[in-house]
Copies of this chain bind each other. A is one copy, B any other.
Amino acid sequence: MAEHVYKKIEIVGSSPNGMEEAVHNALSRASKTIRNMRWFEVTETRGYIDEGKIEHWQVTLKIGFTLEE
């Protein structure tokens, strides 16, 4: 494992229901085109407000995945 090379991409997930679901939605979408995702790092948490209530949360992630040889 010591010679692995990873790529990190930055994805923003959204959800009306909360921060964790926004992360799940981001990973779920990313997994359609990326294999071998290994970890994520939350870099930003924000949200949009409508009529004084949260319309949706928006969480920015860096996702690391293994580059195949």
Is A2 touching B64 in the complex (CB atoms < 8 A)?
no
Closest residue of B by beta carbon distance from A62: B10
Complex Cα spacing A49 to B40, Å:
7
A8 touches B10 (CB 8 A): yes
Chain B residue, CB-CB nearest to A12: B6
Residues of the B chain whose Cβ atoms lie less than 8 Å from the Cβ of A62: 10
A-B contact pairs, 19 of them (CB 8 A): A1-B14, A2-B15, A2-B16, A2-B56, A3-B25, A5-B25, A6-B12, A7-B9, A8-B12, A9-B10, A18-B20, A27-B54, A31-B52, A38-B49, A40-B47, A40-B49, A40-B54, A41-B46, A49-B63
